[in-house]
Structure 1
Amino acid sequence: MAPKPISSPVPVAWYPSLAVLMLSIGLVVTASFFIYEATSSRRNRSLSKEITTGAVASVFLGFGSLFLLLATGVYV
């Protein structure tokens, strides 16, 4: 029995589009995080909202960076 070759679950043609989409979403969420931090007072801030917003931005920027590297030919 011959082993199956490893293939990507996402088509290679989608890499550039996914990179732009995920990086854009990540940057928008990051911008909203900074705006929230700059405009809210210390008493009105919510730790759970900060952690959630930071985690969402981190996930989108992380996957966006991954797809950007894959789209440019750096296979990680």
Structure 2
Amino acid sequence: MAQSAKPISSPVPDAWYPTLAVFMLAIGLVVTASFFIYEATSPRKYRSLAKELVTGTVASVFLGFGSLFLLLASGVYV
């Protein structure tokens, strides 16, 4: 006997998409701004590559997921 197929559903409720988009994009933009401020104000010999990579990675993750939820909230299902 074949089992009926279970429909694919999102682990996040659809009503949360706009809120998640706003918060994740806001956090990503704040981290990006702090990255640019760090680059502009610290002298070249005192910069830390590890701090730059961590800050860039965190900003990239938040902006990526924020963009994803923004697309989902606007009806573009990717």
Which of the five TM-score ranges fits, normalised by the shorter chain?
A: over 0.9
Alignment length, in residue pairs? 76
Could you list the runs of 4 or more consecutive aligned residues of structure 1 that deviate by over 2 angstroms after TM superposition?
none
Q: Which residue of 2 aligns with 1:62?
A: 64
Q: Which residue of 2 aligns with 1:32?
A: 34
C-alpha RMSD of the superposition: 0.2
Q: Which residue of 2 aligns with 1:48?
A: 50
TM-score (norm 1): 1.00
Q: 2:6 aligned to 4, 7, 10, which one? A: 4
TM-score (norm 2): 0.97
**Aligned residue identity for 2:6:** K
Gaps of 5+ in 2: none
**Aligned residue identity for 2:13:** P
Query: 1:52 offset after TM fit, Å?
Result: 0.1
Gaps of 5+ in 1: none
Q: Which residue of 1 aligns with 2:75?
A: 73
